[in-house]
Amino acid sequence: MLGSVDGGQKSVQVAVALENTFAGEQGTFYQLRPEDLLKADAEARRRGMDLVGIFHSHPDCDAYFSKADLENSCPWYSFVVLSIQKGEFHHANSFLPDADQKVAAQEELQYPR
């Protein structure tokens, strides 16, 4: 997610789709190439924005932050989880992992409905 940070508030302007490189069942886990993230970061800077977070979806599942999501995270990005029910967007939540990636606080998330 590319956008801007103003004080404690992040705004997402552009969503860039990155390939899920997880070799197993795609709906169960996601993995990103570090170089893809670096490319997204460079793209953000080229457009005068920042890489503010990373989103992924939970097919036919609630938008919670799983243990694997927490372990797979990093503290400085917002992690938005989308709940996709029967192929349609249902709801989303955003989480901000702490520096040790032990807890992720749920952030207030506003999106068009």
Residue whose C-alpha is closest to residue 84's, from 30, 27, 31, 29: 27
Task: Provide the minimum distance between the beta carbon of 80 and Zn ion in the complex, in angstroms, as a whole number.
Answer: 10
Instruction: Report whether 55 contacts 82 (CB < 8 A).
Output: yes
Contact call for residue 79 and Zn ion (CB under 5 A): no
Contact call for residue 50 and Zn ion (CB under 5 A): no
Task: Compute CA distances 48 → 12, 41, 81, whole Å.
Answer: 13, 11, 25
Smaller CB distance to Zn ion: residue 66 or 101? 66
Task: Give how many residues touch Zn ion by CB under 5 A.
Answer: 2
Task: Provide the minimum distance between the beta carbon of 76 and Zn ion in the complex, in angstroms, as a whole number.
Answer: 18
Task: Provide the minimum distance between the beta carbon of 65 and Zn ion in the complex, in angstroms, as a whole number.
Answer: 7
Q: Please identify the residue of the shown chain whose CB is closest to the bound Zn ion.
A: 69
Contact call for residue 104 and Zn ion (CB under 5 A): no
Distance CA(17)–CA(100), nearest Å, equals 27
Contact call for residue 69 and Zn ion (CB under 5 A): yes
Surface-to-core class of residue 97, CB atoms within 10 Å of its CB (0-12 exposed, 13-18 middle, 19+ buried): buried
* Binding stretches for Zn ion (CB under 5 A): 66, 69
